[in-house]
Amino acid sequence: MDKAQIGQSLDQMRQFRIAKAKKLRDLGFEPYPARSKRTSEIQKLVDTFDTNENKEFYITGRLTAFREHGKLAFGDLTDTTGKIQLYIKEDNLPSTTKETLGFKDLLEVIDPGDFVQAFGKLTKTQRGEKSLEVSKIVVLVKSVRPLPDTWEGLQDTELRQRKRYLDMTMNPEIRKRFERRAEYWQAHRDFFREHGFYEVNIPVLELTTGGADAKPFVTHMDAIDQDFYLRISHELPLKRLIGGGFEKVYDIGPRFRNEGFSDEHLPEHVAMEFYWAYADYTEGMEFIEEMFRYVAKRVWGKTKFNLHGFEVDLEKKWDRLDFATIIKERFGVDIFNTSKEEVNAILLKNGVDEKENVNRGIDALGKIIRKTIAGPAFMINEPKFLSPLAKSMVENPVLTERIHPWMAGSELGNGFSELNDPIDQLERFEVQQKMRDEGDDEAQMLDRDFVEMLEYGMPPTFGWGHSERNFWIFEDVTGREGVPFPPMREEKKTEFSKSKTTKSEVILINKEAHLEKWQELNTVAHLSGSLALREGTKLVLQDTIETKDGEKIKLNIQHAIMLKEIDTGKEILEVREQAQKLGLKVVEFTREMIQTTSDKKVIAETSKKDLKDLEILGILVFGDKETVDSITKKYKLAS
């Protein structure tokens, strides 16, 4: 970071960097070029250093640190693969050319956060650090906002989740997590391909939604003037595909449930469901065990985990737990012969809010037990009243061929031998629809088209679904930390809005010039008028100004002016340079300008002299008020 930026506000630092982008253009370099050149990723060079030492390479990346030491500079350049030190010597970059920035120019335009392209040879510094000794360097992206402090990183949780791009920049392990998330779903696809499944994308918008107990989001399609639901599940369309002749099919994609947030729930999340014709839930359990082991090895390279304090081993045979039995053993409740009051009393004793009906209450009892299970284990034999889409057991019709795997206190998914009896399905849908009509907005809708499909015939099928919650579990993070961009309330952005930016104009009069009052007024008028003409800017609310002879001069300026005094012309030049670096507008008024009204004479006189040799009577600094104030606040108001 430029020393001039230390202690400055964010907006001031932005102005410094915007000015540096302008300087790059002045030097002949586009600060945001379309093309770049790279001949190797950084980590590859680090890993093969011994065989590539003294060889030359082009590398690219973000500059995450930069340090100056006289005629040397050092930078940390980072790409997706790794980090390497840039070793920059003034002798190697004596001057700016069409191909590279010179050393001095580089120091004036570069900042941590910039993306750069560097060319040079691999070498080791005197301290033995693997480095690229730079012989050419250009800026690929001039960053306008400074990165958060490198040492402290980005700590604020809400800011991290709201600005995930910044979170990944400052915390590379976060980006690695989302790389694993991508590999997680790719591993599923590869596993399914190996087992003969087809991936078929199904609609997100549905006229009738179902497949889960959840409140849907509602949207409207203008083209046909029809309300639609955002899907809460993949289930019913995929089973229609089974009815249409597919035997192994799946889909991976987003689903939407208009519910609250928790560590394991987000209203929008990615989920997967597969359907396997001519298979039942017993075959499904074996398949799921194999799938979880395959994915875990691909993504994390292991099958043993410590999760939420539980030791979990995916390689062992997964246990089978009977739903009614575990509730009877834990709470003394017969789920087939109980009341809402009895269930709710147990729930309240265990710190759970009272449920609306006995079915929901029994489901909640199972969730209390689940929190104590290390697993992995399949909870089996779930009652029919909790499973409106699962096939009943022939030997015990009040139970269903449904499975819920439990692990580390959480549920991994949901599967069952699919109900394909259209009459049974219609009756269960009607029960759910009655619950919905009575006010349960999470009960399932009556889907007559789906029932009609079943009447044509759907083969015996096993179905399974799970969401990226499983990825969060294995990563041991919350849902918000497990997705790149979690849903968040809109943030009101007010920073740097052009329409609301307060502008300020300060004129500094050179006390060393010993101006008479009329000369001061003349200086003020010419400075303000010059800026107004140059920028088309309205500056001060005053129509005219009066000379020493009483002549009124018309002004074209409509903005408040602050008039201050500065001791010497040398100080004026220092303020001028600082203001230009900050991207502020600067206008000068010299002795030659007050001696004649002829522009030609002024140009003839001033062109013969360097700026430092001119007697500057005053300068005008115009721009963002906070930035202008930062460089002029120490000067006193003119008397």
Q: Where are the domains of the chain?
A: 3-147, 174-302+417-482, 503-632
Gap between the Cα atoms of 104 and 96, Å rounded: 9
Residue 446, classed as helix, strand or coil, is coil
Q: What is the pLDDT of residue 53?
A: 93
Task: Find the range with the poorest average confidence among 275-279, 354-358, 382-386, 471-475.
Answer: 354-358
* pLDDT, mean of residues 549-558: 54
Same fold: 3-147 with 174-302+417-482: no
Task: Find the range with the poorest average confidence among 221-235, 510-524, 541-555.
Answer: 541-555
Superfamily holding 3-147: Nucleic acid-binding proteins (2.40.50.140)
* pLDDT, mean of residues 407-424: 92
Within 10 A of 518 (CB to CB), how many other CB atoms are there?
A: 13
CATH topology of domain 503-632: Bit1 (3.40.1490)
Q: What is the pLDDT of residue 98?
A: 93
Tokens of 529: 């008028």
Cross-strand bridge partners of residue 590: 616
* Strand duo 310-313 + 304-307: pairing: antiparallel
DSSP state string for 230-272: EPS-SHHHHHHHHHTT-SEEEEEEEEE-----BTTB-SEEEEE
The pair phi, psi for residue 374, each rounded to 5°, is: -75, -45
Q: Is the pLDDT of residue 34 over 60?
A: yes
pLDDT band at 326 (very low <50, low <70, confident <90, very high): very high
List CB contacts of 176: < 8 A, sequence separation 6 or more. none
CATH number for the segment(s) 174-302+417-482: 3.30.930.10
User: Which tens digits make up the pLDDT trace of 447-464?
Assistant: 888 999 999 999 999 999
pLDDT band at 608 (very low <50, low <70, confident <90, very high): low
Higher pLDDT, 4 or 579: 579
**The tokens 């630092």 sit on which residue?**
13
Helix (H) or strand (E) holding 360: helix 358-370
Q: What is the DSSP letter of 444?
A: P
Q: Is the pLDDT of residue 539 over 50?
A: no
DSSP state string for 108-125: HH--TT-EEEEEEEEEE-
Q: What is the pLDDT of residue 504?
A: 78
Tell me if 85 sits within 8 A of 132, measured CB to CB: yes
Gap between the Cα atoms of 147 and 160, Å rounded: 13
DSSP state string for 385-443: GG-TTBPBPSS-TTBBSEEEEEETTEE--EEEEBP--HHHHHHHHHHHHHHHHTT-TTS
Q: Is the pLDDT of residue 151 over 60?
A: no
Q: Is the pLDDT of residue 152 over 60?
A: no
DSSP state string for 176-198: HHHHHHHHHHHHHHHHHHHTT-E
Q: Is the pLDDT of residue 5 over 80?
A: no
Q: Is the pLDDT of residue 578 over 90?
A: no
List, edge to edge, every strand of the sheet that includes 226-230.
205-206, 226-230, 218-221
Gap between the Cα atoms of 313 and 306, Å rounded: 9
Mean pLDDT for all residues in the chain: 86
> Model-level pTM?
0.74
pLDDT band at 607 (very low <50, low <70, confident <90, very high): low
**Among candidate residues 117, 144, 129, the one with its CA nearest the CA of residue 57:** 117
User: Which tens digits make up the pLDDT trace of 612-632?
Assistant: 667 888 889 888 777 888 888
pLDDT band at 97 (very low <50, low <70, confident <90, very high): very high
List CB contacts of 472: < 8 A, sequence separation 6 or more. 263, 264, 478, 479, 481, 482
Q: What is the pLDDT of residue 500?
A: 47
* pLDDT, mean of residues 34-63: 95
